[in-house]
């Protein structure tokens, strides 16, 4: 493991938005030993996502849409799933 137990990366979505991802390793415990592959570990992680940039065209498409409030169900009206392209 590197000297810092976290990683930072970016992804580009199909609408051109760029999101920044940060993953932090909270705890690592040795759980088992396998004669075929060495030691097994239980790794506890936490992560976060923030918006780095959004092009103007998606902003215009959603300016009159209701905000998405997190909950157990995905929004249905006026929202669409995006693909990760990079």
Specify whether the CB–CB gap between 7 and 20 falls below 8 A. no
* pTM of this structure: 0.64
Task: Dig out the tokens for 9 from the structure.
Answer: 């990366």
> pLDDT by residue for the chain (86 residues), tens digit each?
456 678 999 999 999 999 999 999 988 899 888 778 788 889 899 999 999 999 998 888 878 877 777 777 776 766 778 899 99
Name the residue ranges covered by the structural domains of the chain: 1-86
Helix (H, G, I), strand (E, B) or coil at 82: coil
């Amino acid at each position: 493991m590197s000297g810092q137990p976290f990683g930072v990366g970016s992804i580009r979505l199909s609408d051109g938005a760029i999101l920044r991802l940060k993953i932090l390793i909270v705890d690592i415990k040795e759980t088992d030993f396998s004669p075929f592959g060495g030691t097994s570990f239980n790794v506890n992680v936490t992560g976060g996502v923030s918006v780095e940039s959004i092009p103007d065209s998606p902003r215009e498409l959603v300016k009159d849409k209701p905000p998405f409030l997190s909950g157990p169900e995905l929004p249905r009206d006026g929202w669409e799933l995006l693909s990760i392209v990079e």
